[in-house]
Amino acid sequence: MDKAFIQRRRRDLIVAACLALLATQVPRYVTDVYIQNMMIMTLMYAALSQSWNILSGYCGQISLGHALYFGLGAYVTAILYTKFGMLPWFGMCAGGLLSAVIAMALGYPCFRLGGHYFVIATIVIAEIALVLFQNWEWAGAALGITIPLSKQDSWLTLQFAKDKLPYFYFALALACVAWFVTWWLEDSKWGYWWRAVKDNPVAAESLGVVVFNSKMGAAAVSAFLVAVGGGFYAMYVTYIDPESVMGFQFSLLMALPAVLGGIGTLWGPMLGAVILIPLTELTRSYIGGSGRGVDLIVYGGLIIAISLARPQGLVSLFSRKRKPAAQPVREAVAS
């Protein structure tokens, strides 16, 4: 094993630990509820984007239907809590497992599709789920589910009416877990398989990588983490309806931080979320309040500018001095 590589991984871990420790101290100085909400959203999207990155970035299977897993996580958690009185912790795990199973069930036919056919299939499947949930009376149909507030705050039921801080720590933990899972997988057998599958599936297959299984693995891990994020979101906003947790915009909002920061990189989604989410929130509240779409203009312009100017993502700005990473084999298979 390359010594520099081990060093880099160790340094990544230390930097992440320091950042997480720093983050736990932030709420001491930031007491504004609006800003706290923004930080929670940033951390949540960082976690989601990191999870999305596992399937789409590392394994190269671009999914624009991850809202499905997000929504499933939110719905399973909310339904188990409101209808069966089960703790949200259990609901999140159940939602995660269900999503992982569904991801594999859907992956079975979908992973045979190539390129754009796959992307469109993911969009279409999420849209079907959205319409079904909108018409499913038992699950609240288009009206959604309201999670009743309990009288006292508790970590057991994840309900904190008085302040947002516990949610902040939960979101932080979520982001840390997603980051750590990515870090850990990056140097595992799976991580290498995924990158091989992304760069050149035919070559990977010929060298003994079971392409199909590695895609399934990536889908399952990715869906599980996203669904846990969905469960957290449901408990945080205490009200969900199909459009607000399964809409196409969620699939996009999960993908964009990773695209902005750098697809298939460890730090990309984090960096992207830290820049993108506050920016979105700020434009929305300061100039977008008129409902006239200025926030959309800023947002759209930003996406175009970034994807044209920095296709590798912003992370590449930091790593310029380092030894260039292995060139993707993409050019070779561009035919």
Partner 1 sequence: MGLLYGLIAVGLALIFGLMDVVNFAHGEFLMIAMYATFFLFAFFALDPLLAAPLVAAALFIFGAVVYLLIVRFAVRAKANTGMVQIFSTFGLAVLMRGVAQYFFTPDYRSIPHSYLGGKTISIAGIYLPQPQLVGALIAIAAFAGLYFFIHRTDFGRALEATREDAGAVALVGIDKNKVFALGWGLGAALVGLAGAVMAIFFYVFPDVGASFATIAYVTVALGGFGSVFGAFAGGIVVGLVEAMTTLILPPSLKTVGIYGVYLLIVFIRPRGLFGSI
* Site for partner 1, rule CB under 8 A: 62, 109, 112-117, 119-121, 123-125, 127-128, 131-132, 134-135, 248, 252, 255-256, 259, 263, 291-305, 307-308, 311-312, 328, 330
DSSP symbols for 170-221: HHHHHHHHHHHHHHHHHTSHHHHHHHHHHH-HHHHHHTT--HHHHHHHHHHH
- To partner 1, the closest distance from the beta carbon of 116 in angstroms equals 5
Q: Name which of 221, 191, 222 is nearest 204 in CA terms.
A: 191
**Which residues are within 8 A (CB) of 19 and not within 5 positions of it... i.e. 6 or more apart?**
none
Determine contact, residues 37/164, Cβ cutoff 8 Å: yes
Here the tokens at position 175 are: 């982001």
Give whichever of 30 and 294 is closer to partner 1, judged by the CB atom. Answer: 294
* Minimum CB–partner distance for residue 128 and partner 1 (Å): 5
Nearest approach, Cβ of residue 212 and partner 1 (Å): 14
Q: CA separation (Å) from 8 to 11, 15, 53, 131, 313? A: 5, 10, 20, 46, 19
Q: How many other CB atoms are found less than 10 A from the CB of residue 290?
A: 8
> Whose Cβ is closer to partner 1: residue 97's or residue 123's?
123
Q: What angle do CA 195, 247, 267 make, to 5 degrees?
A: 35
Q: Give me the least distance between CB of 37 and partner 1, in Å please.
A: 23
Least Cβ distance, residue 235 to partner 1 (angstroms) = 29
**Strand partners of residue 52:** none
Task: Name the residue nearer to partner 1 (CB basis): 156 or 296.
Answer: 296
Is residue 251 within 8 A of residue 64, CB to CB? The reply is yes
Nearest CA-CA partner of 197 in 222, 218, 214: 214
- Minimum separation from the CB atom of position 274 to partner 1 (A): 19
DSSP 314: G
Q: How far is the CB of 240 from partner 1 (least distance, A)?
A: 19
Measured from the CB atom, is 110 or 240 closer to partner 1? 110
Which residue number, 135 or 146, has a Cβ lying nearer to partner 1? 135
Question: Given the complex with partner 1, which of 39 and 64 has the nearer CB atom?
Answer: 64
Quote the radius of gyration of the chain (alpha carbons, Å). 20
End-to-end CA distance of the chain: 33
Neighbouring CB atoms inside 10 A of 37's CB total: 15
CB nearer to partner 1: pick between 207 and 300: 300
Dihedral pair phi/psi, residue 267, rounded to 5°: -95, -15
For partner 1, the closer CB: 225 or 256 = 256
Min CB(25)–partner 1 separation in Å: 35
